[in-house]
Structure 1
Amino acid sequence: MVHIIHRVGIKAAVQEVYQALATTKGISNWWTKDTSGASEIGKTVVTRFHTLEGNEVGSMQFEIQGLEPDKKVHWKFLEGPQEWMGTEVIFELHQEEDYTIVLFRHINWAEEVEFKAHCSMKWAIFLLSLKQLVETGAGKPSPNDIKIDNWN
Structure 2
Amino acid sequence: MDIVHRIGIKAPAADVYKALATIEGLAGWWTRDTTGNAQPGGHVAFRFHTVTGDEIGGFTMGVLEQTPDHKVRWQVEDGPAEWLGTEVEFQLSQQDGQTIVMFGHRQWRDAGPGGEFMAHCSTKWATFLLSLRELVETGRGQPAPDDVKISNWH
User: When the two structures are superposed, what TM-score results if normalisation uses the length of structure 2?
Assistant: 0.96
Q: Which amino acid aligns with 1:139?
A: G
Residue aligned with 2:17, SS:
helix
Aligned position for 1:71: 70
CA deviations on 1:56-88 (whole Å, 9 max, x unpaired) are 000100100000000000000000011000000
Aligned 1:100-139 pairs, distance under 5 A: 100-112=99-111, 113-139=115-141
CA deviations on 1:73-132 (whole Å, 9 max, x unpaired) are 000000001100000000000111210000000000013421000000000000000000
Aligned position for 1:144: 146
Aligned length: 151
Residue aligned with 1:83, SS:
coil
Aligned position for 1:47: 46
Which consecutive aligned stretches of 4+ in structure 1 deviate over 3 angstroms post-superposition? none
Q: Which residues of structure 1 form unaligned runs of 5+?
A: none
User: When the two structures are superposed, what TM-score results if normalisation uses the length of structure 1?
Assistant: 0.98
Identity %: 52
Aligned position for 1:56: 55
Aligned position for 2:8: 9
Q: Which amino acid aligns with 1:142?
A: A
RMSD across aligned C-alpha pairs, in angstroms?
0.6
Q: Which amino acid aligns with 2:59?
A: M
- Alpha-carbon separation, structure 1, partners of 2:109 and 2:151: 23
Q: Which residues of structure 2 form unaligned runs of 5+?
A: none
